[in-house]
Structure 1
């Protein structure tokens, strides 16, 4: 039996998903729906709920393929054997994309194991009426422990992995090509109908480059969030926490994961955004002009023309840019966030900022809470780079003394 995940938007803008039998109409699966509604939905984002349901979907597929009904098994106080747990985790590990790797990544697999174990543990307590007895409680915990022990251990040190992440930045060739496109956004465009969405795509990349905001935050920018320069104040963009936005009609709503904040932008970007808003965007049929409508919209004809841009549409546009400009191949939205932090560290050096000042400013501009682990990561890398420079100088002094 096949299962499918369906997503809905409530009247108040909340997104929620449910698991259904693929070829059956009517109600969602009872136990997965109850688990999400009572245990997961009140304290997690919709994106996290979808990952839970993806793991539970694999559990349900395993049940069907092995002719097992977990609810009935647990009600009869029959728990999973070691062999069944091995088999289940192998199904959690298998890749659904046959054209690529035969298994999913360790990180994704570990998440599935934890979420599947949480659901199965909940299910046992749900269907066993006296689950608090000593015997049953011990059996449930033993089953849960066996499942969690199937997680894959990470190879290499945590510090080394973090170092690789925070050291990411744009290759010089990619940066040069990108800066050229910021100045000449229509380069290589031949057909008139392609000018509007080309400008939109380049502006979106420029916003990411100048501010380091997350991709979801970029897609959530509304007309009211562009604050033009006035007097001595430069232009800036407002980033708001926007979970369950009732004005966002996108089924899979992009959301801001970090704190709300204001981020400054350059004069050139401000001019380009105003030009896009007042000319190119304004000419698109069905577009909205209220403060709650989104800056970046669908330009091409169709039912979604004039509406907020979905993630997939920008991904397609970025792929087309990479095909046209080979130097952009390493580019992806989150790399621009890493690169912003790399440039910020360099600027902090030139300004002679203290460690504390650098951390505080970075946290504010990135939307991290004070004392954020991510901020500490980037500052640690900065300290290591400076220590290497000083270390080389000391080594050179020693060489001269020996001579």
Structure 2
């Protein structure tokens, strides 16, 4: 049985999603819809609601494969046995894109398992009308058995932290990208392809120069672009825009971080002006980056799918860009910011504060502190060298003699 998550826009602009049995057209699944509407939606964003639904979808898939109804089981005071929990966890964590036996990332698996466990606990409370201490104990035991499958977060691993700190664009990809910034129409033959190419390169340039997220990029409106005045650089204003009533995209790209204003280079400003005034199709759409191709979507804002399609097309034409993906540009920006902080001999607190402001992170954010660990490590190494040298400075100069043969 196939299950599908469908996305909708309410009259007031609110986004919401529902889970459907793909074999039928009609009402969404009752319990998942009730759970999201009553227990999840009031406190989380639409993006998080979609993650909850993906976890629940995997639970429903497993039910169908086992030919059981968990709700009916609960009504009969029958709970999942350990071997069933093990099978459910395997199904939840199985990769849908890779080969058989492959699993999703540890962080995503942990999230799905936790969300599935919360849903099943709610479902038990919802379907069992008479709860007593024994039943509550059984529900708690099932809940704990599921959560026991949650692995230690990979984010706590020192090796993973070092991996994040080292993430940056490979030199060949960076060179190819900077060349395209200078010559965005390189290899373009057809006039109809020029506008989309300039838009696509410009989107990548903004990600590269500002480190903003792809959702923030696709949410930029014409009014968010402020040209340079009085010697100040041009800027882009990033706004939190959840449930924007003017956004026609059911899966709305949104800013996950805080709103802020970021600077862009003079060259990027000139290209933005040229794109806005000469290459961008005439449209009443408020969004900066829109679809160019003729058809029913022309003039509408670029979707996340459209963005990735454009990026994949660029990779086919320019193979050196193969390692590039949007969030890598955010990591690369932080790498370059760290280099700049070193050149400026910026102190730890200043580096942390400025980084948080430009990335849209809250004060003392975990990621900000992670990137700033470099200074702590460097200072520790420096102090360690000083202490080691202090041994010799104190007159202990006979020790090296033992290294020579007598």
Asked whether the two chains share a fold, i.e. TM above 0.5, the reply is yes
Structure 1 residues 374 and 94: alpha-carbon distance in aligned structure 2, compared to 1, 3 A threshold: closer
Check if 1:304 corresponds to 2:304: no
CA drift at 1:299? 1.1
1:42 counterpart SS class = coil
Aligned to 1:165: 164
Residue 381 of structure 1: which of 374, 384, 395 is its match? 374
1:150 counterpart SS class = coil
Aligned to 2:137: 138
Q: Distance in 2 between matches of 1:190 and 1:394?
A: 64
Q: Distance in 1 between matches of 2:390 and 2:320?
A: 41
Check if 1:94 corresponds to 2:94: yes
CA drift at 1:157? 5.7
Structure 1 residues 180 and 95: alpha-carbon distance in aligned structure 2, compared to 1, 3 A threshold: closer
Q: Is contact 1:345–1:382 with CA below 8 Å preserved after alignment?
A: no
CA drift at 1:16? 0.6
Check if 1:206 corresponds to 2:205: yes
Aligned to 1:85: 85
CA drift at 1:386? 6.1
Check if 1:115 corresponds to 2:108: no
Q: Following superposition, which runs of at least 4 residues in structure 1 exceed 4 angstroms of deviation?
A: 98-101, 153-157, 385-399
Check if 1:337 corresponds to 2:330: yes
Q: Distance in 2 between matches of 1:93 and 1:134?
A: 32
Give deviations 1:250-308, integer Å, cap 9, x for gaps.
Answer: 11110000000000111111111011000000xx25x226xxx1111111122111110
Structure 1 residues 389 and 35: alpha-carbon distance in aligned structure 2, compared to 1, 3 A threshold: same
1:263 counterpart SS class = strand
Q: What is the aligned-residue RMSD (CA, Å)?
A: 2.4
Q: Is contact 2:106–2:154 with CA below 8 Å preserved after alignment?
A: no
Residue pairs, 1:258-297, within 5 angstroms: 258-281=257-280, 284=281, 287-288=283-284, 293-297=286-290
Report the TM-score, using the length of structure 1 for normalisation. 0.92
Q: Distance in 2 between matches of 1:86 and 1:99?
A: 20
CA drift at 1:87? 2.2
CA drift at 1:100? 6.6
2:41 counterpart SS class = helix
Q: Is contact 1:203–1:272 with CA below 8 Å preserved after alignment?
A: yes
Aligned to 1:66: 66
Aligned to 2:146: 147
1:84 counterpart SS class = helix
Q: Distance in 2 between matches of 1:83 and 1:276?
A: 59
Aligned to 2:354: 361
Structure 1 residues 95 and 217: alpha-carbon distance in aligned structure 2, compared to 1, 3 A threshold: same
Check if 1:372 corresponds to 2:368: no
2:42 counterpart SS class = helix
Q: Is contact 2:348–2:375 with CA below 8 Å preserved after alignment?
A: no
Structure 1 residues 267 and 155: alpha-carbon distance in aligned structure 2, compared to 1, 3 A threshold: closer
Q: Is contact 2:20–2:27 with CA below 8 Å preserved after alignment?
A: yes
Give deviations 1:212-253, integer Å, cap 9, x for gaps.
Answer: 111110010000000111113221000000111111101111
Check if 1:8 corresponds to 2:8: yes
CA drift at 1:5? 1.2
Q: Is contact 1:163–1:381 with CA below 8 Å preserved after alignment?
A: no
Q: Is contact 1:216–1:254 with CA below 8 Å preserved after alignment?
A: yes
Q: Distance in 2 between matches of 1:385 and 1:328?
A: 32
CA drift at 1:323? 2.1
Deviates more, 1:160-169 or 1:211-220: 160-169
Residue pairs, 1:248-259, within 5 angstroms: 248-259=247-258
CA drift at 1:155? 6.9
